[in-house]
Structure formats: structure tokens, C-alpha cells
């Protein structure tokens, strides 16, 4: 018998003994990265509200994390989280959900939360597909990749999420792949300490729905693909677009200070109260 307990197990609900994911799914790598960031920052789960939508990635915090978790409707976690943050501005409000949930059906919520610079930390799991519903093409499916709904290769251009959210106005944006769990942990820590909207895009493997239809292969093959195709943003800025086709630009896209919405509201409420006395 083995009595060893994983050091991050203390952040999980005791009755949840298994993850909900398929073997080799990248969601588990991000799960550890999130929990390790919380441990290294010495935060308590009671300081958090986790909000997720619908999809495989939405199962990362719920039911696993021993914290307040809101498992909401498809596409709407950012809208729910906006309400939570305005009502409970002292909490860390973290959204964990998929590329389909956050950039397809929920795309408008995401760009407007970035524009408002509301203090949410969004961990967006980008596996380039609708995993949970059987592997349909998503707005993030790389052009030319085969899925169950694009058997001859997707003809569409895909969203480049990280720069899109920079343009929308976020204070912090980073992108890493599941081949970079240590950098990912650091980025989540920065996102959590940032006063403002923070997006951490995680390019992740779905070996089951994405791997099979695209013929990119299993978990290890996709991880190898991430490793050989990742380019640091500092280097990418000096390359021309043609050279970057098919590459995954990783690193920090933006890290700036600007007024955050929930503290602006708090300030306004205080000044109105003082004015009344």
C-alpha cells in the first residue's frame, strides 16, 4: 500500500478522487499549474470564486477544487464572473473554460471584460476544437486541420486569441502550451496578482477528439508538436508573418497598469457616500 498523498491534493474536494478527463488530456497539466500557482502565492481556496462554462475544460475547477465553484451555462462564465467580481471585489475570481466556450458562443463577453479591465483571471484552455461535443471545428481550429466537421481540412481562418485580447484592452495577457507548465504557473501567478483583466491562454492537447481527426496523434505526439513549433514572442516580433505560419507564439503579450473596474466602482461608491454626509 502506498500512503503518499500528492502535495496539491489538499486543494481538492476529498470525495472527488478522479479527474473527468480522458487519458493524456492537457487539462490536467493546467489543473496542476493553477493549484501550484495558488500554493506558491500562499493563497487560500476561501479567497477564490472559480467560474466555468460548458465543455471538458470547464470541468477543471468543478467539481475538483475545494472552493466556491460556479459551473455556469455555455459561453457565459465571464458574464457570471463579472457579477461576482462587482459584488465581491475582494475575492480572486478565476474563470477556467475552453476556447469554444470563451471565444465562440462567449466571445463577446470575453472581449468586453477585457475592454472594461475588470479584475478577473481567465485561464482559457485552447485545444482548437469543441472537445466535449465530439470534435467539431471551432473558431480556433488551425486552418487546414481536419476535424469531424471539416474532414478535408478547415477552410476558415482561426482566431489568434492572445493578441485579440490585448487589442480589446486587457492589462495582462500571456500564452503558453502544456509543454511549458513552469512558465504557465508563473503566468497564472502574475495574472492573479495583476490588478486588472488577465488572460492566460493555454494551448493544450485533446488527444481524443483533436488528435484522432487531425491525425496529429496522441498526447505525447501533440506535446512534441507544441515543443517544436513554439516560438518566443521576443523572437517572433523579429520574424515575418510567412515564417510564423503554423507556429505558436508563446510568452507575455502585454503587462500594463490601468484603472480596474471593480475598484473604480468601489471608489465611486465611497465618494458618493462621503458627499452625502
Partner 1 sequence: MSKVDVLSQNCKGVDQCGICKYVCPKDLYRDSKEMNSAGYIPPEMTDEASCTACENCMIYCPDMAIVVHKDAQDGPPAGEGSDD
Ligand X SMILES: Cc1ncc(C[n+]2csc(CCOP(=O)(O)OP(=O)(O)O)c2C)c(N)n1
Q: Which residues bind ligand X (CB under 6 A)?
A: 54-57, 74, 97-101, 125, 127, 129-133, 138
Q: How many residues bind ligand SF4 (CB under 6 A)?
A: 12
> Which of 181, 190, 247, 263 forms a contact with partner 1 (CB under 8 A)?
181
Cell, residue 19? 479527474
Which of ligand SF4, partner 1, Mg ion, none is residue 251 near (CB under 5 to 8 Å by kind)? none
Q: Of 200, 198, 195, 191, which is closest to residue 262 (Cα–Cα)?
A: 195
Residues 116 and 260: their CA atoms lie apart, in Å, by: 8
Which of Mg ion, partner 1, ligand X, none is residue 110 near (CB under 5 to 8 Å by kind)? none
Cell, residue 90? 475582494
Q: How many residues bind Mg ion (CB under 5 A)?
A: 5
Q: Residue 229 CB, nearest distance to partner 1 (Å)?
A: 12
Kindly tell me which of 214 and 262 has the beta carbon lying closer to Mg ion. 214
Residues 235 and 216: their CA atoms lie apart, in Å, by: 26
Residues 78 and 221: their CA atoms lie apart, in Å, by: 32
Kindly tell me which of 55 and 196 has the beta carbon lying closer to Mg ion. 55
Instruction: Map residues 32-61 to x or -, x wherever contact with ligand SF4 holds by CB under 6 A.
Output: ------------------------x-----
Question: Which window, 24-32, 42-50, 122-130, 219-227, contacts Mg ion (CB under 5 A)?
Answer: 122-130
Which of partner 1, Mg ion, ligand SF4, none is residue 99 near (CB under 5 to 8 Å by kind)? Mg ion
Q: Residue 62 CB, nearest distance to partner 1 (Å)?
A: 17
Under rule CB under 5 A, residue 147 binds Mg ion? no
> Which of 52, 72, 121, 230 forms a contact with partner 1 (CB under 8 A)?
230
- Catalog residues that contact ligand SF4 under the rule CB under 6 A: 21-22, 25, 27, 56, 127, 131-132, 206-209
Contact residues: partner 1, CB under 8 A: 2, 4-9, 17-19, 21-29, 31-32, 36, 178-183, 207, 218-220, 223-224, 227, 230
Q: Which residues bind Mg ion (CB under 5 A)?
A: 98-100, 127, 131
Amino acid at each position: 500500500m502506498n500512503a503518499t498523498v500528492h502535495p496539491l491534493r489538499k486543494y481538492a474536494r476529498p470525495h472527488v478522487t478522479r479527474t473527468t478527463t480522458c487519458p493524456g488530456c492537457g487539462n490536467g497539466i493546467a489543473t496542476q499549474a493553477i493549484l501550484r500557482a495558488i500554493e506558491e502565492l500562499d493563497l487560500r481556496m476561501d479567497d477564490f470564486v472559480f467560474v466555468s462554462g460548458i465543455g471538458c475544460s470547464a470541468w477543471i475547477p468543478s467539481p475538483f477544487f475545494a472552493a466556491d465553484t460556479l459551473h455556469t451555462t455555455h459561453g457565459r462564465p465571464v458574464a457570471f464572473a463579472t457579477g461576482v467580481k462587482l459584488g465581491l471585489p475582494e475575492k480572486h475570481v478565476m474563470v477556467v473554460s475552453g476556447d469554444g466556450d470563451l471565444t465562440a458562443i462567449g466571445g463577446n463577453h470575453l472581449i468586453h471584460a477585457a475592454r472594461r479591465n475588470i479584475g478577473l483571471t481567465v485561464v482559457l484552455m485552447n485545444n482548437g476544437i469543441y472537445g466535449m461535443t465530439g470534435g467539431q471545428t471551432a473558431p480556433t481550429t488551425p486552418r487546414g486541420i481536419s476535424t469531424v466537421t471539416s474532414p478535408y481540412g478547415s477552410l476558415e481562418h482561426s482566431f489568434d486569441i492572445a493578441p485579440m485580447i490585448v487589442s480589446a484592452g486587457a492589462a495582462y495577457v500571456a500564452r503558453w502550451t502544456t509543454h511549458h507548465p513552469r512558465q504557465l504557473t508563473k503566468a497564472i501567478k502574475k495574472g492573479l496578482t495583476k490588478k486588472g483583466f488577465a488572460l492566460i491562454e493555454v494551448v493544450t492537447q485533446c488527444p481524443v477528439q483533436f488528435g484522432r481527426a487531425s491525425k496529429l496523434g496522441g498526447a505525447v505526439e501533440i506535446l512534441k508538436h507544441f515543443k517544436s513549433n513554439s516560438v518566443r514572442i521576443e523572437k517572433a516580433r523579429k520574424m515575418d508573418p510567412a515564417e510564423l505560419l503554423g507556429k505558436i507564439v508563446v510568452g507575455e503579450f502585454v503587462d500594463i497598469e490601468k484603472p480596474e473596474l471593480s475598484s473604480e466602482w468601489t471608489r465611486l461608491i465611497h465618494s458618493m457616500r462621503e458627499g452625502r454626509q
